[in-house]
């Protein structure tokens, strides 16, 4: 046990320093804020804040960005319950029963169940991260270049399978991301590729302009043409659930924690998938499924626990293997790259303070969130009255300033605006930008490991099949791709996403 507790003590000593406590609080507050405000989300917010993190210490930057991610899961439930408007996509399912409870005068109880369920799930999931990470790091030490390449292939295939909508569109977006990641100068030959004679692209496409354009600027364009219909805020009522509500909520919280902890690790998983899977499970297990949508406490407790647990455990593959399971973790890898930190198993040994400090900060952040969320509900609701015509121009200006401040490059600002226009087109075509971002992050890493494996094997491609772990990962990727192409499983997948 000392192998876990000693590093955790180191982590808490790092996370409890005044400056890191401050950044944890900033992340929790910002996460709650962007969770409350619809149409922004943690991906866009983290993309906007990446230039700022360049001025911070690496551990403080990652603590703040992590707080934004799991804080958004808390904040999204507030408006979902009170005004039937999900501030964060993973809180969409909470509207179904949360607002129904609010209409019955049980808004306070619904908010308390959501906050306490999220706190319990976040605490357990953080423990899972602490216990699983050393095991995963030990496993990753068995990996060579061939295994890493095969793991990334499997991760991209899994992300394609779990992406919403058309498989063909997800494949196309992933391939486009891989191609964009290859733009720049070939490190081996020194020749430029895919730069089209533009000297500013010699160093490749910047991660910040791409992420900020695809997520933040494109999201602004999409939200400006939407007209939100806001229901009147229901009465809060008492903050504590009744005994019957608690009896129904506790098993749902436990099940949601397990579902979220498992799905958060999967490529393409995370908070959104966990919330919907938990709601479906609770509805299937209920003695009276007709109560769901009418104010069932389990319909709030399960998904809210699952989305927070999924947000926490999605850090496991990012921290231990350097593989981002979702778009937010891809941004976290971008933040690490800005500070010159190569994600992977070596982070745990070379940067133990950062590794365990980030994990310890999750416990502290979850405690901060449960303390600050309920007292600040009135303030969050008032923010919903800010006109969108004032809110989004300010965000757009902040985006442009952030991109320019990173390298003092006007070209990168124009590049971000171009990717924003492209992201808007993707939304109109029903193409998810998340697979593109994952492909963009993993593309250079895949190429590097592919070339290294081929050099070590003297050009023999059978190296990927001769090594057992590599062959197993490629076989799993092939089976997964063939399985989802089968007509029966395609219908099952479509039905699951429809539910």
178, with CB counted inside 10 A (0-12, 13-18, 19+), is: buried
**Alpha helix positions (H), 163-203:** 167-181
Rounded Cα–Cα distance for residues 97 and 301 (Å): 10
Least confident range of 114-118, 457-461, 472-476, 485-489: 485-489
* Mean pLDDT (whole number) for 397-426: 83
Question: Mapping DSSP to helix (H, G, I), strand (E, B) and coil, where does residue 97 land?
Answer: helix
Torsion of CA 260, 261, 264, 269, to 10 degrees: -40
pLDDT per residue as tens digits for the range 90-133: 676 777 788 788 777 777 788 888 888 888 888 888 888 888 88
pLDDT score, position 229: 45
Contact 137, 15 (CB under 8 A): no
DSSP character for 233? P
Q: How many CB atoms lie within 10 A of CB 13?
A: 14
pLDDT over 50 at 232, yes or no: no
Q: What is the mean pLDDT of the chain?
A: 79
Rounded Cα–Cα distance for residues 157 and 477 (Å): 6
Contact 298, 286 (CB under 8 A): yes
pLDDT per residue as tens digits for the range 257-287: 988 888 777 765 566 677 877 887 888 887 8
pLDDT score, position 493: 55
pLDDT score, position 23: 92
Least confident range of 20-34, 226-240, 308-322, 334-348: 226-240
Least confident range of 54-63, 94-103, 224-233, 411-420: 224-233
pLDDT score, position 488: 59
Q: Band the pLDDT of 19: cuts 50, 70, 90.
A: very high
* Mean pLDDT (whole number) for 175-199: 83
- Tally the domains of the chain: 1
Whole-structure pTM value: 0.72
Rounded Cα–Cα distance for residues 106 and 104 (Å): 6
Q: Can you read off the two tokens belonging to residue 148? A: 């890493």
Backbone angles phi, psi at 259, to 5 degrees: -60, -45
* Mean pLDDT (whole number) for 323-331: 78
- Sign, CA dihedral 17-117-304-386, equals negative
Q: Which domain holds residue 232?
A: 2-498
Element (H, E) at 192: strand 192-193
**More confidently predicted of 95 and 297:** 297
* Mean pLDDT (whole number) for 424-436: 85
Rounded Cα–Cα distance for residues 28 and 365 (Å): 6
Q: How many CB atoms lie within 10 A of CB 114?
A: 31
Backbone angles phi, psi at 308, to 5 degrees: -75, -40
């Amino acid at each position: 046990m000392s192998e876990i507790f000693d590093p955790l003590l180191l982590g808490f000593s790092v996370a409890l320093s005044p400056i890191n406590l401050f950044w944890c609080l900033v992340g929790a507050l910002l996460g709650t804020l962007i969770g409350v405000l619809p149409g922004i989300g943690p991906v866009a917010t983290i993309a906007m804040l990446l230039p700022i993190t360049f001025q911070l210490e690496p551990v403080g930057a990652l603590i703040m960005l992590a707080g934004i991610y799991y804080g958004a899961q808390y904040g999204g439930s507030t408006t979902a319950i009170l005004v039937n408007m999900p501030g964060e996509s993973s809180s969409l399912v909470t509207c179904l029963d949360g607002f129904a409870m609010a209409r019955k005068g049980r808004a306070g109880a619904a908010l308390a169940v959501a906050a306490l369920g999220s706190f319990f799930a976040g605490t357990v999931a953080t423990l899972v991260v602490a216990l699983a990470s050393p095991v995963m790091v030990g496993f990753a030490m068995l990996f060579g270049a061939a295994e890493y390449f095969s793991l990334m292939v499997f991760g991209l295939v899994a992300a394609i399978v779990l992406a919403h909508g058309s498989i063909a569109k997800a494949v196309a977006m992933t391939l486009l991301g891989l191609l964009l990641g290859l733009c720049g100068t070939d490190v081996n030959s020194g020749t430029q590729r895919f730069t089209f004679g533009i000297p500013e692209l010699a160093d490749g496409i910047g991660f910040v302009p791409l992420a900020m354009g695809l997520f933040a600027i494109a999201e602004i364009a999409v939200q400006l043409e939407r007209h939100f219909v806001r229901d009147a805020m229901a009465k809060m009522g008492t903050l504590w659930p009744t005994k019957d509500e608690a009896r129904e909520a506790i098993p749902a919280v436990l099940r949601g924690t397990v579902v979220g902890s498992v799905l958060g690790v999967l490529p393409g998983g995370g908070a959104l998938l966990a919330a919907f899977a938990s709601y479906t499970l609770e509805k299937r297990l209920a003695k009276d499924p007709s109560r769901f949508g009418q104010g069932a406490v389990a319909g709030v407790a399960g998904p809210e626990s699952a989305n927070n647990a999924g947000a926490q455990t999605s850090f496991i593959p990012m921290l231990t293997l350097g593989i981002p399971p979702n778009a937010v973790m891809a941004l976290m890898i971008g933040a690490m790259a800005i500070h010159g930190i190569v994600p992977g198993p070596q982070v745990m040994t070379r940067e133990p303070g950062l590794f365990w400090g980030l994990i310890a900060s999750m416990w502290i952040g979850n405690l901060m969130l449960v303390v600050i969320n309920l007292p600040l509900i009135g303030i969050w609701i008032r923010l919903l009255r800010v006109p969108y015509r004032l809110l989004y121009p300010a965000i757009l200006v902040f985006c442009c300033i952030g991109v320019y401040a990173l390298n003092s490059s006007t070209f990168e600002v124009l590049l971000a605006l171009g990717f924003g226009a492209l992201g808007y087109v993707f939304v109109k075509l029903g193409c998810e930008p998340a697979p593109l971002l994952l492909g963009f992050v993993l593309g250079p890493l895949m190429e590097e490991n592919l070339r290294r494996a081929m050099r070590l094997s003297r050009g023999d491609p059978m190296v990927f099949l001769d090594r057992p772990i590599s062959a197993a990962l490629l076989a799993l990727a092939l089976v997964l791709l063939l399985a989802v192409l089968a007509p029966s499983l395609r219908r099952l997948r479509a039905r699951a996403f429809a539910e």
